[in-house]
Structure 1
Amino acid sequence: MKLTLGPLQYLWPSERWRDFYFEIADEAPVDVVVIGETICSKRLHFMEAELAVVIERLEAAGKEVRLSTLALVTLEREANYQRALALEDVRLIEANDLSALYLLKGRPHAVGPFINVYNAASARVLASNGATTICLPPELPASSVAAIARSCPDLELEVFAFGRMPLAISARCAHARSKGRTKDNCQFVCQEDPDGMTVKTISGQPFLALNGVQTLSHTCQALLECPDEWKVWGVGSLRLSPQTCDMVEVSSTFRRMLNGEIEPGQALVRLRDLYPDIPLSNGFHHGKTGAEWVARLRNAKEATE
């Protein structure tokens, strides 16, 4: 089983962004790192100066680096950015928008979780276009993952195993609006919330999270299944999405679980210690409401009692 670190969804200062990936390169037991701005093109300049040195550090550490496209294209400069990125011929590109699929047609590429792949027919179409790896949307239940895997045995399937789940992208910026600004004059207010801004219901219950133009789940998905189960479902890689917790320890916890060194219940306890302020969830994976925690494993039940 591979571990993939997905692209950072939040806006962090350049130095923090660089140092995070340096730490991942040096210490995290992940196989693949997807890097690049996925959420908002206005953030691109925060990483551009550090991108080359970060890629060099990651590849020197033996990580496979993939480059992510934007998840929403609304401006000509964004379209031009997608076209320029599609010319990359050294590293695999991860398409997170349909416009990128057209640009990558006939070439090997990956498909990220922002492109909805809900059935085997969709996966087969993407494979015929050149996709070699698909990270399935986090809302898919395990039964759907298994059905897609059976129909597409040559595709490497990846599931979103850790992180706040990406739910929607908008052309407008609710994050800026919530702080009395507009998208054009946002002054990068999303940087004030490096793990997303919690949205509450009228009754005061945490419900969602805002990240610039993106809407995320409030809960953090955590899929803690035994390696044999992932094999049965046809999953080849687990995706970990960066949060403000210790991602080196998060990735180490998943690696130890996949290696059989710790049980899923022990991994659950460890993740709750590492990310204590955000509830963990796995409801989508079990065909339930996404924000639920389904403690179907005996040792996981014990860990929650």
Structure 2
Amino acid sequence: MAAHKIPSLTLGPVLYLWPTETWRDFYLRIADEAPVDVVVLGETICSKRLHFMEPVIAAVVDRLESAGKEVRFSTLALVTLDREAEYQRSLARGSSRTIEANDLSALHALKGKAHAIGPFVNVYNAATAKMLARNGATKICLPPELPSSSIRQITSASPEVDYEFFAFGRLPLAISARCAHARSKGRTKDNCQFVCKEDPDGLPVKTLSGQPFLALNGVQTVSHSCQAILQDAAETSVLGITSLRLSPQTCDMVAVARLFAELVAGRIDPEEASSRLARLYPGVPLSNGFHHGRAGAEWVSRLRNNEGVA
């Protein structure tokens, strides 16, 4: 039997607003202890948060690269202001590191320059992947709502880029020009006073019957459940995936990264991985429904079917 290449691990950007020191210390520990190959930095959700990381980002980049990690910079996922558009252009022009585009507005500035595509760009078919590759994309993190059948179709029909999928984290569901997080606390977007910092893992939203449903993260809406796609190297290879993305939450992300490293290396099986992951991130249900073409919040056990396994 042919050996399957072990997929690499990518740590996505922190999507929440964490205090500067917390954000810095998180990445310093990632540099020293986490078995991830790529770390994506930068503000993705709200440009007003940029100044929280600016004083320490140079030190964080230096520490990560000294530890042998590849550093990429993320663009904003939504551009609504001229200053945000200029920020996107300056990031694309001025960085010697790979830029991850999370909004189509960045593609013109990145044209002809090797770059990555983040999960906020809707890559739903092979034609889109081919177009992005012609523009200079060398890696695409596919949207987390894609079922495994669609992933396989895209990767097999457009193999000219490397593909990544969203293997761990609350699912990014929507982003808006308005800030529901600020509104929920009686403030406006322009005078938000950074209320999102009060909820470092998102503000829970419940249904009228009191059931946990979603979470607010500034202008972003994320899932209540945490996606966990737990596959071994052989299963990942069948899908044409070369790397797994871990999205930072307030749990122990070094332990999460180690768990995924053990999983893809074959040192633990998916059942053990799901049990350990549930203990690492207690109080937040695991989900993988989208991967099986079902409701995203569902958890589908490892029943083999024509689409693979969870």
Aligned partner letter, 1:21: Y
Whether 1:166 aligns to 2:175 is no
Whether 1:178 aligns to 2:184 is yes
Whether 1:211 aligns to 2:247 is no
1:49 maps to which residue? 55
1:73 maps to which residue? 79
Aligned partner letter, 2:266: G
> Contact 1:265 / 1:297 at 8 angstroms: preserved in 2?
no
> Contact 2:43 / 2:75 at 8 angstroms: preserved in 1?
yes
Name the % identity.
Answer: 70
1:156 maps to which residue? 162
1:202 to partner: Cα distance? 0.7
2:277 maps to which residue? 271
**How far apart, CA to CA, are the structure 2 residues paired with 1:88 and 1:144?**
35
1:95 maps to which residue? 101
1:245 to partner: Cα distance? 0.1
1:189 maps to which residue? 195
Q: 2:299 aligns with which of 275, 286, 293?
A: 293
Aligned partner letter, 1:277: G
1:1-305 aligned within 5 A? 1-297=7-303
Unaligned runs of 5+ in 1: 299-305
Helix, strand or coil at the partner of 1:252: helix
- With the length of structure 1 as denominator, give the TM-score of the two structures: 0.97
**How far apart, CA to CA, are the structure 1 residues paired with 2:113 and 2:87?**
18
**How far apart, CA to CA, are the structure 1 residues paired with 2:125 and 2:11?**
24
2:4 maps to which residue? none
Aligned partner letter, 1:113: P
Aligned length: 298
Helix, strand or coil at the partner of 1:77: helix
Runs (4+) of structure 1 exceeding 2 A deviation are: none
- With the length of structure 2 as denominator, give the TM-score of the two structures: 0.95
**How far apart, CA to CA, are the structure 2 residues paired with 1:150 and 1:262?**
28
**How far apart, CA to CA, are the structure 2 residues paired with 1:30 and 1:169?**
27
> Contact 2:120 / 2:143 at 8 angstroms: preserved in 1?
yes
Q: Deviations over 1:201-251 (max 9, x none)?
A: 111111111000000011000000121011011000000000000000000
Helix, strand or coil at the partner of 1:221: strand
> Contact 1:171 / 1:213 at 8 angstroms: preserved in 2?
yes
Helix, strand or coil at the partner of 2:168: strand
For the aligned residue pairs, the C-alpha RMSD in angstroms reads 0.8
**How far apart, CA to CA, are the structure 2 residues paired with 1:80 and 1:132?**
24
1:153 to partner: Cα distance? 1.3
Aligned partner letter, 2:142: L
Unaligned runs of 5+ in 2: 1-6, 305-310
Q: Deviations over 1:161-215 (max 9, x none)?
A: 0000101110000000000000000000000000001111111111111000000
**How far apart, CA to CA, are the structure 1 residues paired with 2:266 and 2:225?**
26
